Amino acid sequence: MFSSLQELEGGLRASGYIADSIATTTVYLAARLQKPLLLEGPAGSGKTQLAYAVADAADTTVERLQCYEGINEEKAIGKFDEPLQRLCVELKAKSANVDWESLRTELHSQQFFGAGPLLRALQCERPCVLLIDELDKVDHAFEALLLELLSVWQLSIPKLGTIKARSIPFVVLTSNEERRIGDPLRRRSFYLRVEHPTAEREAEIVALRTPDSSHEFHAGMAGLAKALRGWSMEKPPSVSEILDLAQALKVLGSEQITAEMRDILLPLLAKTEADRRKLLLRDGFASLIFDAQQYSAEVLRRSGA
């Protein structure tokens, strides 16, 4: 997929994803060694986006399986198109000499099978990115189904047979850790924790999304993120929420957060009642702004601005 680490690094950045060197190297090794990548970390930390960025960097497509409780094989692998099969039988039945045995074989061929994302990923001419998103939502039985795919790159489908991979996809598994992913899947994968970024990296991410704003503004957003995360909130803000905040400030025509803006910004900063109360504490918001300014000054100093 990638001929060098530098190519991957450049590709991720060009697609708007800022990864640290450990994440980039892990992705590179997983791609080279054809290992699935298991991403765990808080909501909004960039797990799903990393899969899309890798696909973008490799100039390939994404097959996405969105997991949920009660997901079944049909949804993941696919199923026979029964109305189409019925129609075919009706049409053939009209002709005088029907070879029922060959019709049976035909009806159970891939022509009559509507492929789901797992099967589509195996059938790509060129390796695609197979994103199995929020794997922690499924049960153990479904996890076991994935083992065959990830071990031998094939799928056994009743009545259709065993389908071998035409190309081996780059598999990204993501989890918010609501349920622990089993060890057999972990053993087969490389494991990457996707945490909140450092203030410097967050400033870069904000800069990518709001390129018209000043360097001070980007550092200010990163400083505020760091300050909020140091406040032991019930739901600390993720990168995506800081990006929302940056966009909101642009809409409001403001480049700076002041203590007076507390009530307007509260719905964007505190997402639980406990956190809202915390930010409403007397002097709470003002001291948060103070911390944020210190952190953003650090970011600016380190970047030499």
Q: Residue 299: how many CB atoms within 10 A of its CB? A: 25
Q: Which runs of E-coded beta strand occur in the chain?
A: 37-40, 62-66, 78-80, 113-115, 129-133, 154-157, 161-164, 170-175, 190-193
Tell the smallest beta-carbon distance from residue 117 to ligand ATP (Å). 17
Q: For residue 48, give every residue at least 6 positions away whose Cβ sits within 8 Å of its Cβ, in sequence order, or none.
A: 131, 133, 174
Q: Are strands 113-115 and 78-80 parallel, antiparallel or unpaired?
A: antiparallel
Check residue 142 for interaction with ligand ATP (CB under 6 A). Answer: no
Using CB under 6 A, which of 29, 43, 98, 144 touches ligand ATP?
Answer: 43
Q: Which stretch binds ligand ATP (CB under 6 A): 10-18, 56-64, 101-109, 274-282?
A: 10-18
Give the position of tokens 């891939």: 110
Check residue 48 for interaction with Mg ion (CB under 5 A). Answer: yes
Q: Which stretch binds ligand ATP (CB under 6 A): 47-55, 70-78, 120-128, 145-153?
A: 47-55
Which structure tokens are listed for 285?
């918001």
> What is the rounded CA–CA span in Å between residue 225 and residue 219?
10
Three-class secondary structure of residue 78 per DSSP: strand
Q: Which stretch binds Mg ion (CB under 5 A): 47-55, 71-79, 195-203, 253-261?
A: 47-55
Using CB under 6 A, which of 176, 198, 213, 247 touches ligand ATP?
Answer: 176
CB 298 within 8 A of CB 203: no
Check residue 55 for interaction with ligand ATP (CB under 6 A). Answer: no
Closest-by-Cβ residue to ligand ATP is 46
Using CB under 6 A, which of 46, 116, 169, 223 touches ligand ATP?
Answer: 46
Which structure tokens are listed for 227?
């300050």
- Which x/- pattern over 140-179 shows residues binding Mg ion (rule: CB under 5 A)? ----------------------------------------
Using CB under 6 A, which of 2, 30, 31, 45 touches ligand ATP?
Answer: 45
- Pick between residue 157 and residue 207 the one whose CB is nearest to ligand ATP: 207
> What is the rounded CA–CA span in Å between residue 283 and residue 288?
9
- Pick between residue 206 and residue 279 the one whose CB is nearest to ligand ATP: 206
Using CB under 6 A, which of 24, 26, 48, 210 touches ligand ATP?
Answer: 48
**Of 23, 36, 31, 8, nearest to 118 (Cα)?**
36
Long-range residue pairs from 180-183, CB within 8 A, at least 24 positions apart, any chain: 180/136, 181/38, 181/40, 181/135, 181/136, 181/143, 182/140, 182/143
Q: Which does 169 bind (CB under 5 to 8 A by kind): Mg ion, ligand ATP, none?
A: none
Q: Which does 206 bind (CB under 5 to 8 A by kind): ligand ATP, Mg ion, none?
A: none
Tell the smallest beta-carbon distance from residue 172 to Mg ion (Å). 10
**Of 254, 259, 250, 268, nearest to 287 (Cα)?**
259
- Which x/- pattern over 236-275 shows residues binding ligand ATP (rule: CB under 6 A)? ---xx--x--------------------------------
Q: Which does 45 bind (CB under 5 to 8 A by kind): ligand ATP, Mg ion, none?
A: ligand ATP
Q: Would you give the DSSP letter of residue 173? A: E
Enumerate binding residues for Mg ion (CB under 5 A): 48
Enumerate binding residues for ligand ATP (CB under 6 A): 16-19, 43-49, 174, 176, 205, 239-240, 243
